[in-house]
Amino acid sequence: LSADVNAPIVQYVARPQILDLGWGHPTPATLPTDAWAQAVQVTLSTYGWQAMTYGRSVGPGPLIDWLAEHIGTVDSQPCRTSEIFVTAGASHALALVGQLLVQPGDVVLVDAPTYHLAFRIMRDAGAELVSVPTDDQGVDPGAAEALICHLRRTGRRVSMLYLVPTFGNPTGRSLPAERRSSLVEVCARADVTIVEDDPYREIGFDGPAPGSLWCHSERSGIVRLGSFSKTVAPGLRLGWINASAGLITKLATLGYVDSGGGVNHTSALTMATFGASGAYGRHTDMIRRQYRLQRDSLVAALRTTVPDVPIAVPAGGWFIWMELPGGLTAAELLPVAEQTGVSFVEGPRFFCDRAGGSHHIRMSYSMLPPADLTEAARRLGVAIESRG
Amino acid sequence: LSADVNAPIVQYVARPQILDLGWGHPTPATLPTDAWAQAVQVTLSTYGWQAMTYGRSVGPGPLIDWLAEHIGTVDSQPCRTSEIFVTAGASHALALVGQLLVQPGDVVLVDAPTYHLAFRIMRDAGAELVSVPTDDQGVDPGAAEALICHLRRTGRRVSMLYLVPTFGNPTGRSLPAERRSSLVEVCARADVTIVEDDPYREIGFDGPAPGSLWCHSERSGIVRLGSFSKTVAPGLRLGWINASAGLITKLATLGYVDSGGGVNHTSALTMATFGASGAYGRHTDMIRRQYRLQRDSLVAALRTTVPDVPIAVPAGGWFIWMELPGGLTAAELLPVAEQTGVSFVEGPRFFCDRAGGSHHIRMSYSMLPPADLTEAARRLGVAIESRG
């Protein structure tokens, strides 16, 4: 698991003394190196030069076709090929959507808490971020509408609302179905584009995931970001956007997309092979079992090692969001925890204004094997106990 | 060579009746499908999970190390690893640089003629493009300086100057050495960042390419865009930026780059293998011979079929830029040429204001084999003759 220090390759930094629940990265052993090498070989021999030259702007036909069928199955609703644009990952998708929809100085509303690294992407597009009102179930649609009206009365442009509504980062929770419909209606009325970041949908442990906001909508005024980073491998830099055919055309005619012949052609065509061959289905079945096992290990251990803390068990995704007991803050706990050999991400990082989450921590069970998760929970219990 | 019409894969559109000199795409038969599949296999077995997880923001160490050594050889000057950022191609690089350096409404100066698809990339960043004064040798540094002063006196911000100074698109020509030094001085004095788009440097036919602007500079106030699209394969979407360590840090800390773990990790690490194994050197030796052969075929044929037209023989790259005889315009010739079974790109497309080039055409010898180039020149001669 160690990277060469003189020529670092990966984002992950190993700290040998610490079981680090801070990384939202895949379990290394699950990454499909052999199956991907095989898919590359098949792709290059099947498509030859077409796999390596300038590609189609929206993405190669075979991947768009496979995605349309696959998304239709996942959503239990048909997906049109005209509503798909292949991206270099969900972060890249968010950067492109921000470039098209956000004018410098616009307000972009963001869930609170939500995926912290998305903040900088939207700020790079010139957005001013404002937390949307939430409660324990997630975004409150009525309060969101009131906030949008208030901001507009003060002369602000409000262009987008960003959230991860399904098996979300950092909470692991999903927005209830009635709020989904209601939020879609509110934003359609207010002409605010919903950006639904949806990378965890296919990592559900207890039956099908809640229907996407995209499927709750009339399929305009909403952009859904799909990703292969959690289901296959983040290093491939592949994902997709579901949006209206009009927005897809705007994406495909961006100067850089047109000049480059799509954003990641060879890898995208390889993913078509990986999907059509059945490797995608086999791989996602395997990782669902694996991540379920890891979730179960961490949840079971925490129930023993921090018995006084109620654990909201995530039905999918990679994360547990835990409130610390006895008024303890994440900032107080972190140095003690690291001394005890365990780490996590402090709650405030997931609020755009850092105004919430001071008593919460995010723990990821995605990267460590079950035995390490059990030991990490033990160390966390010791650290919390020592501050009690 | 035909793409499946029902599921188009590539940007290229075959028109069976036409020998199309319009496409600046690689010769399909040269694309290294077998060698790349081999490099993928070696990379995935050598680096395992590290090849597929979130990568280092600036690019994987092994590629940065190989690039530093390789660029040092190509430039005959050392290249520091801190001056390299791995991109998803030169178009992607230009989009990122535009995002960092251009404020909406800025003037960006562009060579005239120059690479036409770059215009939209810079306009997407909010730039207003203005042609820089040129003559038959390329950009005139003194006149460029006067233009910058004039624009600033009228209250305009001038942030960048874009050009392809070596084996350029569309002219095939290179800026003379004394103009290189002079342009670098002028832009340093005026605090205008030079963006040197440099994808053809390693496709020189007659000895080493002219020294880059990057090497003529103090390595600040200049950004050089390198690319694997012409030397290996455009579908991989890989290139690099040479810039000051300060700008490299700004690129690496863009929200989308940080969140995604670099912009194309798995492919970038594979390119490190392709480079270090010697495959890159063998491949570029082969394509230099091949493109030289294709250049020679088209030049020789044109000297026979349009004998009255002086042909400026390019010393590298993919393009011939030809002035039409007898006052003929490219717009008049194009429909006749296509009826005769040959095509090209009209000159005005390479001017940001379309105010020049009406009597010029760009012909690419990069995609067609020698026999087709000879026949294309014959058809072009017939078409010109019929309008004479």
Check whether A5 has a pLDDT greater than 80.
Answer: no
C-alpha separations of B261 from A46, A182, A183, B54 in Å: 30, 35, 32, 5
Check whether A3 has a pLDDT greater than 50.
Answer: no
Give A325 to chain B, closest Cα distance, Å: 31
Task: Quote the tokens at residue A209.
Answer: 């995931």
Is A11 within 8 Å of B254 when comparing Cβ atoms? no
Q: Which residues does residue B135 pair with via DSSP β-bridges, in sequence order?
A: B138
Give A250 to chain B, closest Cα distance, Å: 11
Option in B51, B123, B256 nearest A121 (CB): B256
Contact criterion met (CB below 8 Å) for A63 and A267: no
C-alpha separations of A152 from A131, A155, A195, A366 in Å: 15, 5, 19, 41
Task: Quote the tokens at residue A252.
Answer: 């495909």
B276: how many CB neighbours lie within 10 A of its CB? 17
Residue A219: per-residue pLDDT? 86
C-alpha separations of A300 from A293, A337, A364, B247 in Å: 10, 19, 14, 47
Residue B7: per-residue pLDDT? 63
Residues in A closer than 8 angstroms to B236, CB to CB, are 52, 265-266
Is A269 within 8 Å of B53 when comparing Cβ atoms? no
Is B234 within 8 Å of A94 when comparing Cβ atoms? no
Which of the four pLDDT bands, split at 50, 70 and 90, describes residue A83? very high
Residue A71: per-residue pLDDT? 98
Contact criterion met (CB below 8 Å) for B93 and B239: yes
Is B37 within 8 Å of A48 when comparing Cβ atoms? no
Which of the four pLDDT bands, split at 50, 70 and 90, describes residue A387? confident
Which of the four pLDDT bands, split at 50, 70 and 90, describes residue A7? low
Assembly ipTM? 0.97
Option in B236, B255, B264 nearest A121 (CB): B255
Angle at A380 between CA A375 and CA A381, to 5 degrees: 95
Residue A207: per-residue pLDDT? 87
Mapping DSSP onto H, E and C, the string for A304-361 reads HHCCCCCCCCCCECCEEEEECHHHCCHHHHHHHHHHHCEECEEHHHHCCCCCCCCCEE
DSSP string covering A245-284: HHHHHHHHTSHHHHHHTSSSHHHHHHHHHHHHTTHHHHHH
The overall average pLDDT reported for chain B is: 96
Mutate to test the interface with B, among A99, A264, A350 (most CBs of B within 10 A): A264
CB neighbour class for B306 (10 Å; exposed up to 12, middle 13-18, buried from 19): buried
d(CA B196, CA B163): 6
Give B293 to chain A, closest Cα distance, Å: 20
With a pLDDT cut of 70, the percent of chain A lying above it is 98
Q: Secondary structure of chain A: what % helix, strand, coil (to 5)?
A: 45, 15, 40
Mutate to test the interface with B, among A34, A38, A45, A54 (most CBs of B within 10 A): A54
Residues in A closer than 8 angstroms to B94, CB to CB, are 256
Judging by DSSP bridges, how do beta strands A107-110 and A128-131 pair with one another? parallel
Which of the four pLDDT bands, split at 50, 70 and 90, describes residue A220? confident
Q: Which residue has the tokens 């990122």?
A: B96
Option in B92, B235, B255 nearest A53 (CB): B235
Judging by DSSP bridges, how do beta strands A222-227 and B138-139 pair with one another? unpaired
Q: What is the mean pLDDT of residues A67-77?
A: 97
Contact criterion met (CB below 8 Å) for A360 and A324: yes
Q: Report helix, strand or coil for B143.
A: helix
Question: pLDDT (tens digit, 9 = 90+) per residue, B88-131?
Answer: 999 999 999 999 999 999 999 999 999 999 999 999 999 999 99
Residues in A closer than 8 angstroms to B55, CB to CB, are 9-11, 235
Q: Which residues of B144-165 are buried (b: 16+ CB within 10 A; e: fewer)?
A: bbebbeebeeeeeebbbbbbbb
C-alpha separations of A353 from A114, A116, A131, B253 in Å: 12, 11, 8, 19
The reply to whether the predicted model has a pTM over 0.90 is yes
Mutate to test the interface with B, among A1, A5, A6, A11 (most CBs of B within 10 A): A11
DSSP code at position B52: T
Residue A6: per-residue pLDDT? 53
Which of the four pLDDT bands, split at 50, 70 and 90, describes residue A203? very high
CB neighbour class for B314 (10 Å; exposed up to 12, middle 13-18, buried from 19): buried
Residue B6: per-residue pLDDT? 53
Is A61 within 8 Å of B9 when comparing Cβ atoms? yes
Q: Which residues of B112-131 are buried (b: 16+ CB within 10 A; e: fewer)?
A: bbbbbbbbbbbbbbebbbbb
d(CA A187, CA A221): 8
Is B258 within 8 Å of A117 when comparing Cβ atoms? yes
Is A10 within 8 Å of B261 when comparing Cβ atoms? yes
Q: Which of the residues in chain B have pLDDT under 70?
A: 1-7
Question: pLDDT (tens digit, 9 = 90+) per residue, A93-112?
Answer: 999 999 999 999 999 999 99
Is A10 within 8 Å of B56 when comparing Cβ atoms? yes
Of B207, B364, B173, B211, nearest in space to B288 by CA? B207
Residue B219: per-residue pLDDT? 86
Give A84 to chain B, closest Cα distance, Å: 14
Contact criterion met (CB below 8 Å) for B245 and B6: no
B45: closest chain A residue by CA:
A33
B61: closest chain A residue by CA:
A7
Contact criterion met (CB below 8 Å) for A326 and A346: no
Check whether A1 has a pLDDT greater than 50.
Answer: no
Mutate to test the interface with B, among A9, A36, A99 (most CBs of B within 10 A): A9
Mutate to test the interface with B, among A40, A86, A256 (most CBs of B within 10 A): A256
Give B92 to chain A, closest Cα distance, Å: 6
Angle at A34 between CA A30 and CA A37, to 5 degrees: 125
With a pLDDT cut of 90, the percent of chain A lying above it is 96
DSSP code at position B108: E
d(CA B167, CA B380): 23
Residue B3: per-residue pLDDT? 39
B45: how many CB neighbours lie within 10 A of its CB? 12
Residue A286: per-residue pLDDT? 98
Is B95 within 8 Å of A255 when comparing Cβ atoms? yes
Residues in A closer than 8 angstroms to B9, CB to CB, are 47, 50-51, 55-56, 60-62, 269
